Chain A
Amino acid sequence: MPTTDHTLDEILNLAAAHFKVPREKLTADDDFFKTLGIDSLQALDLLTRLEQHFRIELPDYELQGVSDFRTLAQRIQARL
């Protein structure tokens, strides 16, 4: 099973590619709403892409209060 760091890396790569943000500008503790410049509708779009990428189902209430990539990776890791 991949490590949480590996999962985090995949999340950052996917987010950078989809929202066309330079990968080097994203770090684990960034607020993804601010860094990616997205709102909640776009966050749902990201959630869908992450679910498909990791082949998991991640209820959006699991993201309550989550706004950084590191915690997002932990939530996803818990479903792998």
Chain B
Amino acid sequence: MSEHKGQTLSWQIVNGAIELTLHREACNEIGSLTLEELESFVRALPELARNAHALILHSAQAAGFSAGADLRELYKRAQGMQKAEALRGVRDFLERIHAVMNTIDALPITTIAAVHGVTFGGGFELALACDIMIADRMARFCFPELRLGLIPGFGGIPRLKRDLGNAVVRDLLLTGRSFNVMKAQQIGLVSQIAAEGEALRVARATASQVGKFDRATAAAAKKFIKPIPYEELKREIDIFCDLYARPAVEEGLRKFVENEGPQPYLP
């Protein structure tokens, strides 16, 4: 299908670029339905990529690209389950989301994340799987997982390590702080900064540019430049699952989910 409209995301081909639009309210939290629809998307990708030179990921939600994993769903599902069953469910989810991320990461066409607003946790990890990140002035990034007693579980740590110096990775992960687009560009994460609301337009212009080059050459160059840390990605799942089993995590999730105040996304 060259175009598809789902409940949490849709895709279409525009001027030779596949555009994957995330549109789950409020901020594209990645839960089981989004995962299913991402899996449908990656199944469609081989056919889509035959007719495209680039893939652009972007969000139609005003609040941002994605606030990350759907923690409320994660918490509620675990309630009433035996611990072992909940853990199996988490591992299964992680293995499936990793398969999605790895497919996007290894795609032979150029992938561009056009981000704005909140780009946190799993949402940040989805953007990191892309070759190029374009962000508007209001984009804000964060790996807040340590606040919950966890580490990023969707492949963020191996991908951050691939792209950044270790000192920067330590700062971002160990403080769990959010940072703005100027910082993101300064440390080498963001390739171009667009005016507020203009990230998709800039991404389309970039996609048009990359479309001028021979596809096989670009694919060979990308494969050479961009190693995919498969072993570390598997190790990340193991570490995440070990941490998830701890009581502190359930408590951290409970506090986040039950927080009725205005500040759940602040440290």
Give, as a whole number of angstroms, the nearest-CB distance from B189 to chain A.
14
Pick the most buried of A41, A48, A49: most chain B CB atoms within 10 A of its CB. A41
Q: Does the CB pair A41–B175 fall under 8 Å?
A: no
Q: Does the CB pair A45–B117 fall under 8 Å?
A: yes
Question: How far, in whole Å, are A33 and B266 apart by their CA atoms in the complex?
Answer: 12
Pick from B64, B182, B183, B263: contact of A33, CB under 8 Å: B263
Q: Does the CB pair A60–B180 fall under 8 Å?
A: no
Contacts of B67 in A (CB 8 A): 41
Pick from A38, A47, A57, A61: contact of B183, CB under 8 Å: A57
Q: Does the CB pair B182–A41 fall under 8 Å?
A: no
Question: How far, in whole Å, are A64 and B178 apart by their CA atoms in the complex?
Answer: 13
Pick from A38, A40, A48, A60: contact of B138, CB under 8 Å: A48
Q: Does the CB pair B263–A57 fall under 8 Å?
A: no
**A51 in the interface (beta carbon within 8 A):** yes
Q: Does the CB pair A57–B262 fall under 8 Å?
A: no
A 36-52 to B, binary, CB cutoff 8 A, 1 in contact else 0: 00111101110111011
In the complex, how many residues of chain B place their beta carbon closer than 8 angstroms to a beta carbon of chain A? 26
B 3-21 to A, binary, CB cutoff 8 A, 1 in contact else 0: 0000000000000000000
Q: Does the CB pair B262–A60 fall under 8 Å?
A: no
Q: Does the CB pair B266–A64 fall under 8 Å?
A: yes
Pick from A40, A52, A57, A59: contact of B137, CB under 8 Å: A52
Contacts of A80 in B (CB 8 A): none
**B247 in the interface (beta carbon within 8 A):** no
Please classify the interface of chain B as helix (H, G, I), strand (E, B), loop, or mixed, using the class held by over half of its residues: loop
Q: Does the CB pair B266–A43 fall under 8 Å?
A: yes
Task: Categorize the interface residue count of chain A.
Answer: 10 to 19
> A45-B138, A59-B175 in contact; A40/B180 too (CB < 8 A)?
no
Give, as a whole number of angstroms, the nearest-CB distance from B194 to chain A.
14
**B80 in the interface (beta carbon within 8 A):** no
**B27 in the interface (beta carbon within 8 A):** yes
User: In chain A, residues 59-75, which have Cβ atoms closer than 8 Å to a Cβ of chain B?
Assistant: 59-61, 63-64
Contacts of B140 in A (CB 8 A): 44-45, 47-48
Pick from A33, A41, A61: contact of B265, CB under 8 Å: A41
User: Which residue of chain B lies nearest to A57 when distances are taken between CB atoms in the complex?
Assistant: B183
Q: Does the CB pair B177–A61 fall under 8 Å?
A: yes
Question: How far, in whole Å, are A40 and B264 apart by their CA atoms in the complex?
Answer: 6
Contacts of A64 in B (CB 8 A): 266-267
User: Which residue of chain B lies nearest to A64 when distances are taken between CB atoms in the complex?
Assistant: B267
Question: How far, in whole Å, are A57 and B138 apart by their CA atoms in the complex?
Answer: 14
> A41-B118, A48-B138, A48-B180 in contact; A61/B262 too (CB < 8 A)?
no
Interface pairs (27), CB distance under 8 Å: A33-B263, A38-B262, A39-B262, A40-B262, A40-B265, A40-B266, A41-B26, A41-B27, A41-B64, A41-B265, A43-B263, A43-B266, A44-B140, A44-B266, A49-B138, A51-B182, A52-B137, A52-B180, A57-B182, A57-B183, A59-B175, A60-B177, A61-B175, A61-B177, A63-B266, A64-B266, A64-B267
